[in-house]
């Protein structure tokens, strides 16, 4: 490998060369497009505008200043690279756009995506000429050859390849040679070859470009991988890239593989992250560019962690020694779980945290996680668990004084008989026991149920009512006591609110906090019916937690993944910090290393754009006025290839605006406060935001504070002498963006 270009913060999904061979561009899961100089490999430009990963790129062969992009955000854009801005957008796809292509002679753009449709656009008028529908699954590859009459070829996850007549928008031929998803296709650049190749997980096939798409031959070896990328040059050297990092070179005519290579897993990445997602030859055919699936999403260019870690301090992690280890390992926020433990217990842990912070010199924010309203089963006779048999009937009473047995149990929710109906489901003990409602007696407060599975039920187990709108307050009397008697005196930075159901819940909490509401960040956990009101909640909350545990009781497990991605996407668009919580690394309660599935889970959350991952059992029990200005310093940092952004702020709001734009470099937040306690509070708040590195500077002028921050950055190896740093501050209500050369 001659050159390795690094700069993206996520998996690189697409690559395209300029027809003049002066530059090439790459699109990534970090939602950016980067333009690189072909000769030197230097990064020339970074473009932002997509809010989902960029999957497709193409450069006009008529005017090389025009580039087209498509992404998971359903957006298709035309960029003017002389002005560095979007000049046209093409709207019509119902879901993510996975591929795009330009007709070699006509002003026609083709896009295919998850909605199973290939759309044909007039480039200049932005009108949709045709919607080529016929595939059953995602359209993930498309090209259009210079033939007459004009035609389009599409490949799909439904394992078929379709030829379309571009004059009438009709299917000409459907090829069914593949048995698995067709993920990549490539046209031979020489017109007289009149052929193309398609690839899937089962084989690599070559076809003629005539209207019938006649099959020519298979490639004669098995790469034994899902082929995501194919490229071929004029000399007939074909390359295929697989999801296992394999890179095979083939002779176009004979179908023999004459060379194999393996992508090298980068330091800190998993073996599964060597996958190749895109490949492209330059205009000479002598230079091949391919993209490796590399875990850069949670790292800055200098290796400093950007995604934050919230750790729960519990029995296994509350000693000074263990907390020091957590701080050095990267803990940014310490979570105190008030579902368990007394005030005295948590006070001892808080004191230990203070000592550990003083010993290490590392700042850490404090989160009070409220117990919140909950429904639990009652006590049992003699305290003995009862055995429930599948098919048996049992009665639930709202009289919590009853001691239950195999015939009758109690629950703490007084409106149970009023709110549930026959056919509804009652889940007990983390969903391990499922009861179907048969009848309700609202007068006596009784609910008759049938057991859907055999299980053992203990005392005081949690209860979920999927799909039921429960009438419970956001803050219980216990929560209010915990906040006022423990949280406020201990100067907590964050309150995590359990079971937030609507935006007005947050207004009520702020009214309760009174003067303390300004200094305490409210983080909403959406665990039940709050999913339906997620937009309203996100507008009101300071930050957001995807609480996958209880969410999994409300919606099917297979939908949690999609719900998590949608919530992260919404929060990113609003610039609100988002935390992904529950069972991120659950196996580490017993094992020293996470499973591969867990590691991939964390990686996906990071690459989706989560600000924090929250570890619970793993650590507790285990061994808008200034938005343009905020964007400007982010763009300045990219254009100058700066190593850091220094933001001078009093309340932290300015730094949070900058963090909204997800810059690839650390944001050093210099807090200007005369009172050390207030400065620490503002600095701690920033620990929740992705990429922010708080710096407390007391006394001196603003320039002196900036220089102090730069010295901190040098000590942390964020920058060195000769590097550029972008500074951002407010002077008399106006924003000032400057560059600073590091001594």
Q: The CATH number of the domain where 415 resides is what?
A: 2.40.33.10
Hey, is 571 helix, strand or coil?
helix
Closest CA to 229 of 208, 209, 216, 247: 247
Judgement on whether residues 482 and 579 belong to the same structural domain of the protein: yes
pLDDT digits (tens, 9 = 90+) for 48-79: 999 989 999 999 988 878 999 999 999 999 99
pLDDT > 50? residue 1: no
Residue 410 pLDDT: 96
Q: Does residue 35 contact residue 23 with C-beta atoms inside 8 Å?
A: yes
pLDDT > 90? residue 196: yes
Residue 193 pLDDT: 84
pLDDT > 80? residue 543: yes
Is 353 inside any structural domain? yes
Percentage of the chain lying above the pLDDT 90 cut:
40
- How big is the CA angle at 456 (ends 454 and 462), to the nearest 5 degrees? 110
Residue 660 pLDDT: 58
Give the rounded distance of the alpha carbon of 78 from its chain centre: 25
Would you list the DSSP string of 305-353?
A: B-SEEEEE--TTT-SHHHHHHHHHHTEEEEEEETTSS-HHHHHHHHHHH
| Domain total of the chain | 3
- What element of type H or E holds 649? strand 644-649
CB atoms < 10 A from the CB of 631, how many? Answer: 16
482: which 2 tokens? Answer: 């915990």
Determine the Cα–Cα distance for residues 686 and 564; give it in Å rounded to an integer.
23
Alpha-carbon distances, residue 443 vs 397, 407, 416, 491 (angstroms): 11, 20, 12, 47
Give the rounded distance of the alpha carbon of 469 from its chain centre: 29
CATH number at residue 509: 3.20.20.60
Q: Does residue 368 contact residue 382 with C-beta atoms inside 8 Å?
A: no
Is 672 inside any structural domain? yes
Judgement on whether residues 684 and 730 belong to the same structural domain of the protein: yes
pLDDT > 60? residue 280: yes
pLDDT > 70? residue 267: no
Hey, is 357 helix, strand or coil?
helix
- The residue from 419, 436, 464 where one domain ends is 464
Q: Does residue 659 contact residue 689 with C-beta atoms inside 8 Å?
A: yes
Is 246 inside any structural domain? no
Residue 626 pLDDT: 39
Pairing mode, strands 151-156 and 161-165: antiparallel
pLDDT > 80? residue 579: no
Write out the catalytic residue numbers.
335, 376, 525, 582
Is 299 inside any structural domain? no
**Residue where the block lists tokens 């069972």:** 583
Is 45 inside any structural domain? no
- List Cβ neighbours of 40 (8 Å cut-off, separation of 6 or more): none
Angle subtended by helix axes 627-639 and 653-660, to nearest 10: 60
Give the rounded distance of the alpha carbon of 633 from its chain centre: 24
Residue 406 pLDDT: 93
- What element of type H or E holds 480? helix 477-482
Judgement on whether residues 565 and 580 belong to the same structural domain of the protein: yes
597: which 2 tokens? Answer: 């599935």
- The residue from 447, 464, 481 where one domain ends is 464
Closest CA to 332 of 352, 353, 318: 353
For residues 589-614, give the mean pLDDT.
42
Residue-averaged pLDDT of the chain = 80
pLDDT digits (tens, 9 = 90+) for 728-743: 665 544 455 666 777 7
Please give the radius of gyration of the chain, using alpha carbons only, rounded to the nearest integer.
29
Residue 297 pLDDT: 32
Determine the Cα–Cα distance for residues 70 and 86; give it in Å rounded to an integer.
12
Judgement on whether residues 494 and 537 belong to the same structural domain of the protein: yes
pLDDT > 90? residue 522: yes
Judgement on whether residues 500 and 352 belong to the same structural domain of the protein: yes
Determine the Cα–Cα distance for residues 629 and 608; give it in Å rounded to an integer.
25
Most confident of 625-629, 680-684, 727-731: 680-684
Determine the Cα–Cα distance for residues 273 and 294; give it in Å rounded to an integer.
6
For residues 575-600, give the mean pLDDT.
48
Is 585 inside any structural domain? yes
- The residue from 395, 430, 464 where one domain ends is 464
Determine the Cα–Cα distance for residues 553 and 658; give it in Å rounded to an integer.
36
For residues 381-408, give the mean pLDDT.
95
Higher pLDDT pick, 109 / 684: 109
Judgement on whether residues 386 and 345 belong to the same structural domain of the protein: no
Residue 12 pLDDT: 86
Hey, is 609 helix, strand or coil?
coil
Q: Does residue 537 contact residue 571 with C-beta atoms inside 8 Å?
A: no
Determine the Cα–Cα distance for residues 710 and 706; give it in Å rounded to an integer.
6
pLDDT > 90? residue 625: no
Strand (E) positions, 49-113? 54-59, 66-71, 76-80, 85-90, 97-102, 108-113
Percentage of the chain lying above the pLDDT 70 cut:
77
Q: Is the peptide bond before 149 cis (omega within 30 degrees of 0)?
A: yes
Is 123 inside any structural domain? no
Judgement on whether residues 557 and 673 belong to the same structural domain of the protein: no
Residue 576 pLDDT: 78
Residue 84 pLDDT: 87
Residue 391 domain boundaries: 375-464
- What element of type H or E holds 581? strand 578-581
Judgement on whether residues 359 and 495 belong to the same structural domain of the protein: yes
Determine the Cα–Cα distance for residues 307 and 9; give it in Å rounded to an integer.
11
DSSP designation for 484: I
Distance from first CA to last CA of the chain, Å, rounded? 35
Residues paired with residue 671 on neighbouring β-strands, in sequence order: 649, 696
Would you list the DSSP string of 201-253?
A: SS-EEEEE-STT--EEEE-SS---S-EEEEEE-TTSEEEEEETTSEEEEEETT
Judgement on whether residues 611 and 569 belong to the same structural domain of the protein: yes
Higher pLDDT pick, 543 / 418: 418
643: which 2 tokens? Answer: 């190593």
Pairing mode, strands 408-410 and 393-397: parallel
Hey, is 415 helix, strand or coil?
coil
Determine the Cα–Cα distance for residues 44 and 40; give it in Å rounded to an integer.
10
Residue 300 pLDDT: 39
Q: Does residue 573 contact residue 565 with C-beta atoms inside 8 Å?
A: no
Alpha-carbon distances, residue 367 vs 154, 194, 496, 552, 622 (angstroms): 51, 64, 7, 23, 19
pLDDT digits (tens, 9 = 90+) for 477-487: 999 999 999 99
pLDDT > 90? residue 495: yes
676: which 2 tokens? Answer: 């050390």
Judgement on whether residues 497 and 594 belong to the same structural domain of the protein: yes
Return left, alpha or beta for 108; rule: phi > 0 is left, psi -120 to 50 is alpha, else beta: beta
pLDDT > 60? residue 209: yes
pLDDT > 60? residue 532: yes
595: which 2 tokens? Answer: 């499973």
Judgement on whether residues 477 and 609 belong to the same structural domain of the protein: yes
For residues 160-175, give the mean pLDDT.
94
Determine the Cα–Cα distance for residues 430 and 181; give it in Å rounded to an integer.
38
CB atoms < 10 A from the CB of 401, how many? Answer: 8
Query: What pLDDT band is residue 344 in, cutting at 50, 70 and 90?
Result: very high
Determine the Cα–Cα distance for residues 662 and 690; give it in Å rounded to an integer.
7
Residue 600 pLDDT: 37
Between 234-243, 616-625, 681-690, the lowest mean confidence (pLDDT) is in 616-625
Determine the Cα–Cα distance for residues 293 and 295; give it in Å rounded to an integer.
7
CATH number at residue 667: 3.40.1380.20
**Residue where the block lists tokens 């070896």:** 221
Residue 633 pLDDT: 44
Dihedral sign, Cα of residue 270, residue 274, residue 278, residue 283: positive
Is 240 inside any structural domain? no
Judgement on whether residues 418 and 496 belong to the same structural domain of the protein: no
Hey, is 52 helix, strand or coil?
coil
Query: What pLDDT band is residue 659 in, cutting at 50, 70 and 90?
Result: low
pLDDT > 60? residue 299: no
């Amino acid at each position: 490998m001659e050159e390795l270009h690094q700069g993206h913060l996520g998996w690189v999904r697409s690559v395209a060369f300029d027809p003049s061979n002066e530059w090439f561009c790459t699109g990534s899961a970090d939602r950016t497009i980067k333009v690189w100089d072909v000769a030197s490999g230097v990064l020339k430009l970074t473009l932002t505008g997509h809010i989902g990963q960029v999957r497709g790129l193409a450069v006009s062969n008529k005017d090389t200043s025009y580039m087209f992009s498509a992404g998971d955000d359903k957006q298709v854009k035309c960029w003017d690279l002389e002005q560095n801005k979007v000049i046209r957008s093409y709207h019509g796809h119902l879901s993510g756009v996975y591929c795009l292509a330009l007709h070699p002679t006509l002003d026609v753009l083709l896009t295919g995506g998850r909605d199973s449709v290939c759309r044909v656009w007039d480039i200049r008028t932005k009108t949709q000429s045709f919607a080529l529908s016929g595939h059953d699954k995602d359209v993930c590859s498309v090209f259009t050859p210079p033939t007459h009459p004009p035609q389009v070829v599409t490949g799909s996850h439904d394992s078929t390849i379709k030829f379309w007549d571009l004059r009438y928008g009709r299917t000409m031929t459907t090829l069914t040679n593949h048995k698995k998803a067709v993920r990549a296709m490539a046209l031979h650049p020489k017109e007289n070859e009149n052929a193309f190749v398609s690839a899937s997980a089962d084989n690599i096939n070559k076809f003629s470009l005539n209207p019938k798409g006649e099959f020519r031959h298979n490639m004669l070896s098995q790469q034994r991988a899902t082929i995501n990328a194919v490229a071929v040059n004029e000399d007939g050297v074909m390359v295929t890239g697989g999801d296992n990092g394999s890179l095979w070179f083939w002779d176009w005519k004979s179908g023999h593989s004459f060379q194999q290579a393996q992508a090298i897993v980068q330091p800190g990445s998993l073996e599964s992250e060597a996958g190749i997602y895109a490949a492209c030859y330059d205009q000479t055919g002598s230079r091949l560019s391919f993209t490796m699936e590399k875990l850069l999403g949670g790292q800055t260019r200098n290796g400093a962690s950007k995604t934050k870690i919230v750790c729960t301090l519990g029995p296994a992690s509350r000693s000074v020694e263990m907390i020091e280890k957590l701080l050095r390992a990267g803990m940014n926020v310490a979570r105190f779980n008030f579902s368990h433990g007394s005030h005295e217990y948590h006070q001892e842990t808080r004191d230990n945290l203070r000592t550990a912070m003083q010993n290490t010199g590392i700042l850490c924010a404090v989160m009070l996680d409220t117990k919140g309203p909950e429904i639990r089963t009652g006590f049992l006779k003699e305290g003995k668990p009862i055995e429930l048999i599948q098919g048996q009937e049992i009665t639930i009473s709202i009289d919590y004084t009853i001691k239950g047995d195999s015939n009758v149990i109690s629950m703490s929710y007084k409106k149970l008989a009023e709110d549930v109906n026959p056919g509804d489901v009652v889940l007990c003990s983390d969903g391990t026991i499922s009861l179907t409602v048969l009848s309700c007696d609202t007068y006596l407060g009784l609910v008759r149920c049938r057991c859907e599975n055999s299980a053992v039920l203990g005392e005081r187990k949690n209860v979920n009512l999927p799909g039921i709108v429960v009438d419970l307050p956001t803050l219980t009397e216990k929560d209010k006591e915990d906040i006022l008697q423990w949280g406020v005196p201990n100067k907590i930075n964050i309150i995590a609110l359990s079971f937030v159901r609507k935006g007005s819940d947050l207004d009520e909490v702020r009214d309760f906090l009174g003067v303390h509401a300004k200094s305490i960040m409210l983080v909403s956990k959406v665990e039940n019916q709050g999913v339906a009101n997620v937009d309203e909640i996100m507008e009101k909350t300071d930050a957001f937690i995807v609480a996958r545990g209880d969410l999994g009781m409300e919606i099917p497990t297979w939908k949690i993944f999609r719900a998590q991605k949608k919530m992260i996407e919404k929060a990113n668009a609003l610039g609100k910090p988002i935390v992904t919580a529950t069972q991120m690394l659950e196996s580490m309660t017993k094992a020293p290393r996470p499973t591969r599935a867990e590691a991939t889970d964390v990686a996906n959350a990071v690459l989706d754009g989560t600000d924090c991952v929250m570890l619970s059992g793993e650590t507790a029990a285990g061994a808008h006025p200034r938005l343009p200005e905020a964007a400007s310093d982010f763009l300045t940092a990219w254009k100058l290839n700066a190593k850091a952004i220094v933001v001078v702020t009093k309340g932290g709001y300015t730094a949070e605006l900058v963090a909204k734009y997800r810059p690839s470099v650390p944001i050093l937040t210099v807090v200007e406060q005369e009172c050390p306690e207030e400065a620490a509070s503002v600095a701690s708040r920033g620990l929740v935001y992705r990429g922010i590195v708080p710096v407390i500077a007391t006394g001196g002028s603003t320039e002196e504070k900036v220089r102090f921050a730069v010295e901190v950055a040098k000590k942390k190896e964020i920058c060195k002498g000769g590097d550029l740093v972008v500074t951002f501050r407010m002077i008399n209500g106006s924003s000032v963006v400057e560059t600073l050369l590091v001594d």
